[in-house]
Amino acid sequence: MDYISPFKLPTDEEVFLFREKEKQKKQEMKLQGTKTKIWDKKTASSKHQLHHYKKFEGEKEDESAGNRRKTQGYSTKDQTLIKSAMEILRDRGKEREQIGKKEGVVELIEQKKEMFLVTMSHGILENEIERLKEIEREKKSALEQ
Quote the number of domains for the chain. 2
Task: Judge whether 59 and 70 are in contact, CB under 8 Å.
Answer: yes
Q: For residue range 83-106, what is the model confidence (pLDDT) as tens digits?
A: 888 888 888 888 777 766 666 778
Look up the domain containing 82 and give its range: 74-103
Are the C-beta atoms of 73 and 57 separated by less than 8 Å? yes
**Structural domain includes residue 1:** no
Same domain (yes/no): 95, 124:
no
Residue 125: enclosing H or E segment and its boundaries?
Answer: helix 105-144
**Lowest-pLDDT choice from 31-35, 47-51, 76-80, 119-123:** 47-51
Does residue 68 fall inside a structural domain? no
Instruction: Say how many CA atoms lie within 13 Å of 114 toward its Cβ.
Output: 6
Residue 28 in any domain: the answer is: no
pLDDT, one tens digit per residue, over 30-62 is 888 888 887 777 776 666 665 555 555 544 444
- The single-letter code of the amino acid at 86 is M
Q: In the predicted model, is pLDDT for residue 23 greater than 60?
A: yes
Same structural domain, 96 and 109? no
pLDDT for 6: 75
Is the domain of 108 the same as that of 97? no
- Same domain for 135 and 125: yes
What's the Cα-to-Cα distance from 129 to each of 8, 19, 79, 82, rounded to whole Å? Answer: 77, 78, 63, 61
pTM for this model (two decimals): 0.29
Residue 111 is assigned to a structural domain of this protein: yes
Q: What would the DSSP string read from start to end of 49-66?
A: ----GGG---SEEE-GGG
Q: Which residues contact 38 (CB under 8 A, 6 or more apart)?
A: none
Nearest to 74 by CA among 50, 58, 89: 58
Are 112 and 142 in the same domain?
yes
